Structure 1
């Protein structure tokens, strides 16, 4: 981020006050496991009032990259709210608040150095005895009752309910995949919570893939694999989130393969989530991919408009500030990618109305979200959509404007028209003009055709989702 020119005076100059407030806010917004994994290890490294810059340290490269990708915008938002002025937030590699410097690789790790250097603790192995917390790590608030259902996730929810009622027999393993913030974690917690209610003595463990990697590293360092295996092989239900983080970690994959085989032979249930279809995951052993494919694989798609509206209204009501349908439609039309983005927008609106003592109206929502809406409008244009679709389907951008009609060109062109209508504020005639001067009825036909196909074509849904993520990255 570039430094501010002529920065305005700050309302507050207490970086520690900001840090405590930001950490507190994120602890309420995230599940305990997510907070412990991603936010708790961060440190406030420095604060420069002269140029309004604040530096946050992450303990390893893996966490640094993930924090930048996933939480940078939220930290920026919290900082601007606290200081009353734009703040430059820099994320760096740091250990316990110390600026980055050369680090040594633990001598105990000989086999999987790449994993160890990413997740090995900064204290010595002798100071941290090998232990695995023997409790479920489930978030009790994530249940089937609190999960909003729509066309995008109804199959995944139905399969999850079936597994919850018949663990180890219905679909084993079950593999849920989809983009960030679509409800995968919510569903697997719901399964765990249901089983725990039915069988209080069941051995259940929810774990993020990165924590599993960490357990493997510590078991290897401390020669404690017997204990590691006894624990993981004896579970009744293993819920493992974001397994794409196993990529390139051969020892972790080997140990998970053994645990996977042991659990299935014991008729224990295994449920896995990922951001990608199994066969599209890079750096994952073929043996594991074939095991993932042997059960039920279900996609969770980005929520459709009606579902986004329902989510907003339900969550606003739970906060004690009802939102009318017209306001929910306004917000949902502008924010399309995932539930987490919707929740972030709702938090901004609720904070605004509480602070100003206003009711939730479209004008209030537009004011509260003006920065977010401005960024969205700048980022996605019809031209960007045309280029992204053309790149994805390996055609020329010029084919978007041409009169050519072979299937390998006409279909991507229709998808681009559909996405232009979905992701921009352009009218049908304006979109038609940008596609080589086509009539608005041609655009309308394309929108209706792709909308209808999406209702039953999971591959098309996946392709559109990938293109959307590219546009918003």
Structure 2
């Protein structure tokens, strides 16, 4: 690297630490390598597509404004480093493309949500163990299994993972995953079209019923009545029921006491926001699955600054 260019880049990094958001210089820009400065354009090599996207979306505009004001360059161009082998670069670029939503199976399960890529930590250890036990012994271990917690913490992931596990053990198993809202809409449609028998047959003859966001049954008397009978039918037949909510059963308002009581027949477990160590492990797992090589400082920076939920971590 040219010594003059090296000096210019050090000046830019020093200025970035002073003027750009925390972490811009020491975490992100530090990974860049200046290649050339020609005709007012500073060309930087970045280690992978992930870093390139983060700098482009978060720091490129203020960086260009800063170095232009200092008279160092008028434009910054980023490229994935030339030292990256073409095969690795192709994989990185492919991984960087907006992921296509996985196709749901006939059971409504998302192929991406399995136990193998669920990161276990202090905040979700009991929920994970209970989910695995329910999958290994459906209708026996914990029935129903009621998982509650805030948005984006992994409740839905565990529900789908249970379904996949049961199907792996018995491909003929009848698994249905749906939201309580969909259950309500299908019930209304069945009543309007005089097809209630089909509706009852569909949901009372499954081996595993996974129903998400049960709190939305609140104040829906007809839906609660039908779900009560569906629950009883499945439980009597020792079929597994897994329910999720954003709050524990007793805090769900406008739901009949007899339903709340049944929600508590098995095991009620919660998922809390992940601690720092779990957030780091989640980011490492996501990077591994997407084929990214991300420096530890970047993972630590993201984990420290996105404390709320897993979906936000994935979006980072």
| TM value normalised by structure 2 | 0.67
1:174 and 2:145 matched: yes
1:203 and 2:174 matched: yes
Provide the secondary structure at the position in 2 that maps to 1:240.
strand
Provide the secondary structure at the position in 2 that maps to 1:294.
coil
Any gaps of 5 or more consecutive residues in structure 1?
Answer: 1-24, 34-133, 346-473
1:152 and 2:123 matched: yes
Q: What is the deviation of 1:26?
A: 8.0
Higher relative contact order (CA 8 A, sep 6+): 2
1:188 and 2:159 matched: yes
Report which of the two has the higher share of strand.
Answer: 2
Give the corresponding residue for 1:326.
297
Give the corresponding residue for 1:28.
100
Q: What is the deviation of 1:340?
A: 0.3
Contact map agreement 1:317 1:323 (CA 8 A) in 2: no
How many residues get paired?
A: 220
Provide the secondary structure at the position in 1 that maps to 2:242.
strand
Give the corresponding residue for 2:258.
287
Using the alignment, how far apart are the partners of 2:285 and 2:154 within structure 1?
A: 15
Give the corresponding residue for 2:114.
143
Alignment of 1:34-45 (within 5 A): none
Give the corresponding residue for 2:313.
342
Using the alignment, how far apart are the partners of 2:103 and 2:177 within structure 1?
A: 11
Distance 1:27 1:310, change over 3 A: closer
Q: What is the deviation of 1:135?
A: 3.1
Using the alignment, how far apart are the partners of 2:194 and 2:292 within structure 1?
A: 54
Contact map agreement 1:149 1:157 (CA 8 A) in 2: yes
Among 236, 246, 254, which residue is 1:275 paired with? 246
Provide the secondary structure at the position in 1 that maps to 2:130.
helix
Q: What is the deviation of 1:275?
A: 0.5
Using the alignment, how far apart are the partners of 2:277 and 2:177 within structure 1?
A: 31
Using the alignment, how far apart are the partners of 1:259 and 1:26 within structure 2?
A: 39
Q: What is the deviation of 1:317?
A: 2.2
Q: What is the deviation of 1:313?
A: 1.4
1:296 and 2:267 matched: yes
| TM value normalised by structure 1 | 0.45
Q: What is the deviation of 1:219?
A: 1.0
Contact map agreement 1:142 1:189 (CA 8 A) in 2: yes
Contact map agreement 1:309 1:325 (CA 8 A) in 2: no
Give the corresponding residue for 2:287.
316
Contact map agreement 2:117 2:285 (CA 8 A) in 1: no
Using the alignment, how far apart are the partners of 1:181 and 1:157 within structure 2?
A: 15
Using the alignment, how far apart are the partners of 1:26 and 1:178 within structure 2?
A: 28
Give the corresponding residue for 1:231.
202
Any gaps of 5 or more consecutive residues in structure 2?
Answer: 1-96
Contact map agreement 1:313 1:322 (CA 8 A) in 2: no
Bigger CA radius of gyration: 2
Q: What is the deviation of 1:271?
A: 0.2
Using the alignment, how far apart are the partners of 1:259 and 1:144 within structure 2?
A: 27
Using the alignment, how far apart are the partners of 2:98 and 2:239 within structure 1?
A: 34
RMSD value, Cα: 1.6
Using the alignment, how far apart are the partners of 1:26 and 1:248 within structure 2?
A: 39
Distance 1:317 1:181, change over 3 A: same
Give the corresponding residue for 1:219.
190
Provide the secondary structure at the position in 2 that maps to 1:170.
coil
Contact map agreement 2:218 2:254 (CA 8 A) in 1: yes
Q: What is the deviation of 1:27?
A: 7.5
Give the corresponding residue for 2:73.
none
Q: What is the deviation of 1:28?
A: 2.9
